[in-house]
Structure 1
Amino acid sequence: MTAVSPRLRAGSPLMLGASLAALTIAGPAFAQDAAMPAPQAQAQAANPDPAATTDNSQVSNEIVVTAQFRAQNIQDTPLAITAVNAATMEAKSQTNLAQVADSAPNVTLKPQGASFGPSIAVSIRGIGQGDFNPAYEPGVGIYIDDVYYPQLTGAVFDLLDLDRVEILRGPQGTLSGRNSEGGSIKMFTKKPTGSGDGFVEGTYGSRQRIGMRAGVDFKLTDNLFARVSGVYKHQNGYVDQLDFGCVYPAGGPATFTANDGTTKQTNPTGGIPAIKANGACRVDKLGEVGYQAIRGALRYNPSNAVDINLTAEYIHDKHSAAGEVLAATAVIDNPNTNIGTNPPQYAGGSPGVPYDNRFICGKFCNFSSYSSPAIVYHGILAPNQPLLATQNNNTSVYDGYNLAANAHFALSDMFSIDNILAYQNWKSKFGVDDDLSPIPLSGGFNSLTHWNWSEEIRLNAELASNIHAVLGGYWFEQETDYFSYQDLRYINAAPGLGLFPLQFIQPDRTPAQAKAAFGNVNWEIVPGLTFDGGLRYTDEKKQYHYFRYNPDGVTINPYVDPVGAVAGAGAPGALTGLVARYHGNRWDYRAALNYRFSPEAMVYVSTATGFKGGGTNPRPFYASQAIAFAPEVLTNYEVGLKTDLFDRRLRFNVDAFYGKLKNAQVGVSVCPDGSTPCAALINGGNAREWGVEADFLARPIDGFSIDGSLSYLNFKYTKLAPGTTISLDEPFAGSPKWKWTLGAQFETDLGSFGSLTPRVDATYQDKIYSGFTYNTVPQFIDAYTLLNARLTWQNEDKDLSVSLEGTNLTNKYYYVTLFDLRAAGAGLDKAQPGRPREWAVTVKKTF
């Protein structure tokens, strides 16, 4: 492999084709009709088609999963796992991955705010990641058809033509590998069968919501099948972007609450000029939806012994920035007038407009401008320093395509091989206005280009009627090029020295590589008593190439890289030209013992490990801050009970877990060497967590079902590294202590008029520590409860349905994310409110 350049490997369709061709040629030589089909095909065959029955609750009760590389009923799998099929997702009006995660215990998956582009924050049992920067690893593995998606950008996947979703809680270090420390989320698409079936679906709803979905399955030859599906979604935003100068020509509202808590009159001097004409002050609607995707699948299945699936997918996601507001209960805290819209002058002259509470707009509006004027900076550290005018836009764009080849070959009744090859490529661009005001405080532009390819091969062996083993190897390579233009006009150098300008570009590169070998065994020791165990060795490498240029792209910026500006790129002590390298390896293990007392009850105990990969700080302000951080490791102990009671009319599962976290990766505002500002991730210490999770599904009578879940999470730091700014009593960021869901539906048979099914769902999320502290006070996202409902009519033939859905029926105002930079000196505290009450009508025709 060393003779092949990374760019040639990036063009991996050549390699994928060669590998697949070799397997295809070998396939017929060992094909046997009696051999087992691929685990995914087994699972899909076992999960009924929702169109084949009128009782969707019965469909949900019989889900077969492949979490352990073999098809198993979910109740026979010794894992804390939530699995939902297509019928359940449709009944709950779930159209993207975040909505499915809302229903799972101790799982948090939220779309990020505008500063993080089209990315997500995800955690399972509190373990995960919210920062999209490619230097960081996600902590929760996300997969589609067993193909790993390594980045948080673009990960709010639409549920296009899915067969099922499996959410595995707890470390999956042996089953899923690196970065599945908290758990893994696995989506499985519908495989072509040549059935000739298809569907067309249309949706219309609030704020001009328009949705279209369609899919068709067809036969090309007796053993070659194809499936094509697509989705189009558009909806206007729900947060108004307003022109401040148009709304307040005098410079602000008549009165506002100042930073000292007093009420002040607006000072008409130093007003902000209007961009829009008076009376037409709306610039745009933020929080827009604009998603399109198309997927094609080709399946060659001449016998049970040969099953080859090729898939290609293209995604185009273009919309206005996430809807955000300045937090209404916050105090904007940046009294320095040098950041104002008038030319700031630190030493004498006319000050600019201060950044204060006059820019708090309301529950669903902001005054973001995405522009900064050209000025001459008069700071002590930067006398007569010109700053360029910048003009960005509020649009977020993601374009990606994914190619995969999943091949299954049965060598004999005892052995089979699965080979999974994949190539992914995406680009994303988005502008940033962190301060949500016309003040040129903190803005910029981000552009990311990413590719990765991977290959995984598994040897499955039925060593005996009671022993199943899997041996495998995995190879992964990626590179993300991250171009960022930063215009930060709030950074204080030191007391008495005032602000200094940070206007620079950073075309950084992050290549990475990982390889692994693993094995898992399933051994039924005696009838009813089964052992599952696994071991995986992982070796990973990552580089970070730093560049800090002035906006001209040629000269080095002296404020973030003074050594480089004087001595040149690559000089000792220079940040520009520096290449930071990380290399790590480790072993992960899993052992689980389960005993089935009867067909109705099974209990299991397990221990497992997982880790989130290490790396180096991608946001150093000085070369000394380009510091490395080691992998974060979780060891988990778990006990669980799975039951099917009362003639399978009640399913109740419960588990309890205890986890030990080592080398926790935490962000700090003061680096270990004492330098500040600092935005580094370090290994901040150790922690422990424990919790309980329960879920149930009840069908007391035919057609009526009730389902729900409950989870509790308790987290505490037990040891902190020297220099860490957090405390042992600091709350854990990103996850609620309590979370519950409750839903019910009842299908009424109307005879020749079809059926009518009302459904109601409620979800509760406890308050969440945002990860930010202001004036020593931790900042929280408040708890909230949401209520959704859906009413579905289906005709007698079950091939036509009409649904009326409502979400957030009580019109609850709540925050999804909170981004507080007051402690960092920016003065801003902004939040992303959740979507208000919405309704929609959906018509679906199957054929």
Structure 2
Amino acid sequence: MPRSPRPMPRLRPLALALVLALPVVATAQTPVGEEAGRPSATTLDAVQVTAQRRVENIQDVPISITTLDAETLGVLGSGGGDIRVLSGRVPSLNIESSYGRAFPRFYIRGLGNTDFDLNASQPVSLIYDDVVLENPLLKGFPVFDIAAVEVLRGPQGTLFGRNTPAGVVKFDSVRPSQEFDGYGRVAYGSHDMWNLEGAVGGALSERWSARASVLYQRRDDWVRNTQEDAPNRGFEGYDETAGRVQFLYEGDGFEGLFNLHRRELNGTARLFRANIIEPGSNRFVPGFDRNVVSNDGVNFSDLETWGGSARLRWDFGQYSLYSITGYETLESLNRGDIDGGYGAAFLPDSGPGFIPFPAESADGISDHEQLSQEIRLESNLAGPFNWQAGAFWFREDLTIDSLNYDTLAPGNPQSGHAVQEQRNTAWAVFASGQYDVTERLTLRGGLRYTQDRKDFSASVLQAVPGGTPVGGPFLVDTDVDDISWDASAVYAVNDDTNLYARVAKGFRAPSIQGRLAFGGVSTADSEEVISYEVGFKTDFWDGRARAGLNLFRYDVDGQQLIAVGGATNQAILLNADKTLGQGIELDLQAWLTDNLLVTWGSSWNDTEIRDSDLGVAVCGSGCTVTDPVLIGIGQTQALIDGNPLPQAPKLIHNLTARYGIPVGTAGGEVYVYTDWAYRGEVNFFLYESEEFRGRSLLEGGVRVGYAWNNGDYDLAAFGRNITDTTRIVGGIDFNNLTGFINEPRTWGVEFTARF
């Protein structure tokens, strides 16, 4: 029988917490500098963001935003980590991947997409240098020579170009300038890890300047394969190169910024490990050794991407006109041993544990092209009202190859081939404005009309034994339009504290998937989200501290979900009637002393799927399903009404602390920096089971260094995941209790020179 939906906790206790916090903030305005009887202390710099496509103080923007600066990004990436190192580093942000470094999946406030198909859309949009990166393989572009990262939580569908019902992660590269500057950085660490990056830029003429940035990362395989005759003797190594060159023209009333970038990744795919989960629990089996596996399949991950953009701006005094043109293309192939072990139960030898039959597959994009164009007109008026309006156009064409292999035959020959082709064309018009009602009260609002069309074709060219026969093409097309909007208000309590409220509607276009090896084509209709948010932002303690606290609630109608694997061995798109979410987010920064800077971020998210009739196939791996089960003809389903969203932790906390001691008179400093991120438990799939529920994860880093010549030179020792915490962070719902784990501990040294 379906169980009764669990009641959503009301917002009243959280609202009470917000109200109670206000007197504390007001009290904290008491000066602590010279007026308090001691010398003035170090204060926080103002943070400028472009969350509303204008440069503004973060305190004035009625959106829940967290930023990460260049120093923090450098610390997080010192161990050679990819974009996933940002996971948990801001409230309500989770990032995971079943592809490793190639295909990050983003979740904000629990909203994301666990779909592993290469045309999967995500409700979190990634904007890199003002250009949307839609394909999930593009979203893993490395983080280097970045000025700042902005994480915008909640729907951003008015001003940003694609699928943003959950939020936006926005990267801005360091721009060229007329001043000659740059840096070089080299790090070496465990497992023969090298992390080299650098940039140089300056004037080419009175009008032109340029900047070139490069990154090189490598690591040896650190996992040994005990199968001596296997194609791969080791795993988890990588070799990655990326580069960016920018040219900036600054004329009279005109500016043009031109960008070319490229990435090349060669390494191993995500390493799946057979039967590492103890039945009936979410812990490792006794004797688990993260440094050893026994696989008999081929494993590799190859990815090449490159792209360019032209960002143009014309100034006409009271108005500015912007044009943003983007182009991206990629080619990829990712192959792995899906069963995570060797042999099969019907052979004399197999393992680890029970391997019913072998599974080895690959997915790749053989042809891809993304084009986008935005035109935007912005006012710069002296009066109380300003506005911006524009149009956006997007097109993506891609071809996906899905391949299967016969692991038990000599040479692992190809045994299946399916092809998907998709063209996605979208256009939109939008307008946004803000009005200063009084000196203290500002109102904002915006509208966006979007039209989105997908044309999809899938064919089986070579049938997998026992799978879908040769056939096709199977054709599907979708054509929808939608209106997104937002409305907000900011009220300045005083010069240091702002209250804000926001309501916004977001939209995600329909999705199509055609994994045809053992199934057909499935479609999920568009989803819509309404989000409500209230909060405050304040500077206090005489400028030495800053805080932001907000409460939110959202309702999603028709949320797109993916039922992955299970006893049916299929990946099927679904729509849930409704999903509810609510929570609280806190950002805090403070100079506790002139030498000690501390930051703290925290979030509590509660999500719930509400659909009394929605069921998904139970696991095919013998797991312990805890949901109500409905036994039907030919299929057993778990009813997921009341379940939280997958990969949606209730709790995320993060902490950084930096303590510096001045040394000498030439700008020297000895410093210690530590950072910690906590992610609560998560479900890996839509159904709940004892085995496929990830335990909470706490990872920390440390950095001890000496900087001299006013920070121009820096020598440091560092550690990542210093407690060597090992957790199962994802599972494969297939034919055994297969999982994959987090990154190992890394120790290293790093030297940086700036000029």
Give the TM-score of the pair, scaled to structure 1. 0.75
Instruction: Quote the Cα distance in structure 1 between the aligned partners of 2:147 and 2:166.
Output: 24
The equivalent of 1:470 in structure 2 is 388
Aligned to 2:509: 613
The answer on whether the counterparts of 1:772 and 1:820 sit within 8 Å (CA) in structure 2 is: no
C-alpha separation in 2, matches of 1:91 and 1:558 = 49
| Alignment pair present for 1:760 and 2:674 | yes
Judged with a 3 Å threshold, the aligned counterparts in structure 2 of structure 1 residues 156 and 670 are, in CA distance, closer, same or farther, namely: closer
Name the counterpart of 2:106: 122
Query: Does 2:335 align with 1:408?
Result: no
**Secondary structure of residue in 2 paired with 1:81:** strand
By how many angstroms is 1:815 displaced?
2.4
Quick check: 2:110–2:648 contact (8 Å CA) kept in 1? yes
Matched with 1:230 is 214
Q: Deviations over 1:472-521 (max 9, x none)?
A: 1000001111011124899xxxxxxxxxx994211221111111111111
- Counterpart contact for 2:64–2:152, Cα < 8 Å: yes
User: Once the 2 structures are TM-superposed, how far is the Cα of residue 239 of structure 1 from its aligned partner?
Assistant: 2.4
Q: Match of 1:581?
A: 477
Letter in 2 for 1:760: T
Does structure 1 residue 110 correspond to structure 2 residue 88?
no
Q: CA separation of 1:422/1:113 partners in 2, compared to 1, >3 Å: closer, same or farther?
A: closer
Tell me how far apart the structure 2 counterparts of residues 104 and 358 of structure 1 sit (CA, whole Å).
32
2:698 aligns with one of 781, 785, 789: 785
Question: Against the structure 1 CA distance between its residues 455 and 140, is the aligned structure 2 distance closer, same or farther, given a 3 Å change threshold?
Answer: same
Call closer, same or farther: CA 1:450–1:829 in 2, change over 3 Å.
farther
Cα distance change on mapping 1:678 and 1:156 into 2, 3 Å: closer
- 1:68 CA drift (Å): 0.4
Distance 1:70 1:777 in 2: 48
Match of residue 427 from structure 1: 331
Q: Which amino acid in 2 is paired with 1:431?
A: R
Report 1 or 2 for greater relative contact order, CA contacts < 8 Å, sequence distance ≥ 6: 2
Q: Distance in 1 between matches of 2:613 and 2:744?
A: 43
Any residues of structure 2 matched to 1:519-534 within 5 Å, and which? 519-534=431-446
Seen in structure 2, the aligned counterparts of structure 1 residues 91 and 118 have a Cα distance that, compared at 3 Å, is: closer
Matches within 5 A, 1:209-220: 209-220=193-204
- Cα pair distance change 1:649/1:99, threshold 3 Å: same
Write out per-residue CA displacement over residues 681-702 of structure 1, whole angstroms, 9 at most, x where no aligned residue.
Answer: 0112212110000010011222
Match of 1:546 in 2: 458
How far apart in 2 are the matches of 1:63 and 1:227? Answer: 24
Match of 1:834 among 742, 746, 752: 742
> Against the structure 1 CA distance between its residues 488 and 183, is the aligned structure 2 distance closer, same or farther, given a 3 Å change threshold?
farther
Is the Cα–Cα contact under 8 Å of residues 215 and 241 in structure 2 kept in the other structure?
yes
CA contact (8 A) 2:214 2:243 kept: yes
The alpha carbon displacement at 1:811 in A equals 1.3
Is the counterpart of residue 326 in structure 1 residue 278 in structure 2? Answer: no
1:779 is displaced (CA, Å) by: 2.2
Distance 1:607 1:293 in 2: 39
2:265 counterpart residue number: 317
Partners of 1:180 and 1:141 in 2: CA distance? 5
State the 1:622 CA deviation: 7.7
CA drift of 1:111 comes to 3.4
Asked if the contact 1:122/1:140 (under 8 Å) is kept, the reply is yes
Report the residue type matching 1:834 in the other structure: N
Give the alignment partner of residue 289 of structure 2, picking from 362, 373, 376. 362
**Given that residues 141 and 179 in structure 1 are in contact (C-alpha distance below 8 angstroms), is that contact kept between their aligned partners in structure 2?**
yes
Question: How much does 1:58 deviate?
Answer: 7.0
**Structure 1 unaligned regions, length at least 5:** 1-56, 247-274, 277-281, 333-356, 371-392, 491-500, 551-555, 566-574, 822-826
Letter in 1 for 2:293: N
Distance 2:115 2:151 in 1: 21
Q: How does 1:65-144 map to 2 (within 5 A)?
A: 65-93=49-77, 96-113=82-99, 118-144=102-128
What residue ranges of structure 2 are gaps of 5+ in the alignment? 1-40, 344-356, 617-637
Q: Secondary structure at the match of 1:75?
A: helix
Question: What SS does structure 2 have at the residue aligned with 1:87?
Answer: helix
Label 1:235 to 1:506 Cα distance change in 2 as closer, same or farther (>3 A).
same
Offset of residue 718 of structure 1: 2.5
Q: Which secondary structure does the structure 2 equivalent of 1:547 belong to?
A: strand
Aligned-residue offset at 1:398: 0.7
Contact between 2:563 and 2:686, CA under 8 Å: does it hold in 1?
no
Shift in Å at residue 329 of structure 1? 2.8
Is the contact between residue 185 and residue 752 of structure 2 (CA under 8 Å) also seen in structure 1?
A: yes
For the 8 Å contact 1:512–1:543, the answer to whether it is kept is yes
Offset at 1:59? 9.2
Which whole-Å CA distance do the structure 2 matches of 1:676 and 1:199 have between them?
Answer: 53
The alpha carbon displacement at 1:186 in A equals: 0.5
**What is the identity, as a one-letter code, of the residue corresponding to 2:105?**
A
Asked whether 1:770 is paired with 2:687, we answer: no
One-letter amino acid matched to 1:791: V
Match of 1:684 among 576, 579, 586: 576
Aligned residues of 2:296 and 2:407 also touching (Cα < 8 A): no
Read off the aligned partner of 2:292 and give its amino acid letter: C
Given the superposition, is the C-alpha separation of residues 616 and 837 from structure 1 closer, same or farther in structure 2, using an over 3 Å criterion? closer
> Would the aligned equivalents of 1:113 and 1:324 in 2 still touch at CA under 8 Å?
no
Secondary structure of the corresponding residue to residue 368 of structure 2 = strand
User: What is the alpha-carbon distance in structure 2 between the residues aligned to residue 544 and residue 649 of structure 1?
Assistant: 55
1:721 CA displacement: 4.9
Q: Tell me, yes or no, if the aligned pair for 1:161 and 1:190 is still in contact at 8 Å.
A: yes
Whole-Å separation in 1 of the counterparts to 2:43 and 2:509: 38
1:276-318 CA distance string (max 9 Å, x none): 7xxxxx9433222321111110010024x21100000111111
Q: Say whether residues 1:458 and 2:458 are aligned partners.
A: no
Instruction: Give the aligned residue type for 2:750.
Output: T
Q: Deviations over 1:206-243 (max 9, x none)?
A: 11111211111121110101111101111123322220
Question: Structure 1 pair 323/546, CA: closer, same or farther in 2 (3 Å)?
Answer: closer
Question: In the superposition, relative to structure 1, how do residues 736 and 417 fare at CA in structure 2: closer, same or farther (>3 Å)?
Answer: same
After superposition, the CA RMSD in angstroms is: 2.8
Partner SS, residue 128 of structure 1: coil
Matched residue, 1:655: 550
2:219 paired with 1:302: no
CA contact (8 A) 2:615 2:640 kept: no
Give the secondary-structure state (helix, strand or coil) at the position aligned to 1:546. strand
| CA distance, structure 2, for counterparts of residue 686 and residue 58 of structure 1 | 48
Cα distance in 1, alignment partners of residues 554 and 691 from structure 2 = 24
Counterpart-to-counterpart distance in 2, 1:107 and 1:806:
23
Task: Give me the whole-angstrom Cα distance separating, in 2, the residues matched to 1:637 and 1:211.
Answer: 42
Structure 1's 722 and 779: CA in aligned 2 closer, same or farther, altered over 3 A? Answer: closer
CA shift digits 1:332-358 (9 cap, x unpaired) = 9xxxxxxxxxxxxxxxxxxxxxxxx99
Note the C-alpha offset of 1:166: 0.6
Structure 1 residues 320, 669: CA separation in 2 closer, same or farther (over 3 Å shift)? closer
Give the distance between the partners of 1:794 and 1:239, measured in 2 at CA.
35
CA contact (8 A) 2:277 2:285 kept: no
- Which residue of the partner structure matches residue 497 of structure 1? none
The structure-2 alpha-carbon separation of the partners of 1:518 and 1:684, relative to structure 1 and needing over 3 Å to count, comes to same
SS in 2 for 1:733: coil
Whole-angstrom distance in 2 between the partners of 1:806 and 1:712: 28
1:676 and 1:841, CA in 2 relative to 1: closer, same or farther beyond 3 A? Answer: closer
In 2, distance between residues paired with 1:488 and 1:516? 46
1:443 aligns with 2:338: no
CA gap of 1:709–1:723, structure 2 versus 1, over 3 A, is closer
Task: State whether residues 552 and 583 of structure 2, in contact with CA within 8 Å, keep that contact through their aligned partners in structure 1.
Answer: yes
Report how far residue 727 of structure 1 moved.
2.3
Q: Is 2:619 aligned against 1:701?
A: no
Task: State yes or no: 1:185 paired with 2:77.
Answer: no
- Check whether the contact 1:708–1:743 (CA below 8 A) recurs between aligned residues: yes
Displacement after TM superposition at 1:463 (Å): 4.4
The 3-state SS of whatever aligns with 1:142 is strand
The answer to whether the 8 A contact 1:200-1:845 is kept is: yes
Do the aligned residues in 2 keep the contact of 1:178 with 1:538 (CA within 8 Å)? no
Residue 846 of structure 1 aligns with which residue? 754
Is 1:293 equivalent to 2:242 in the alignment? yes
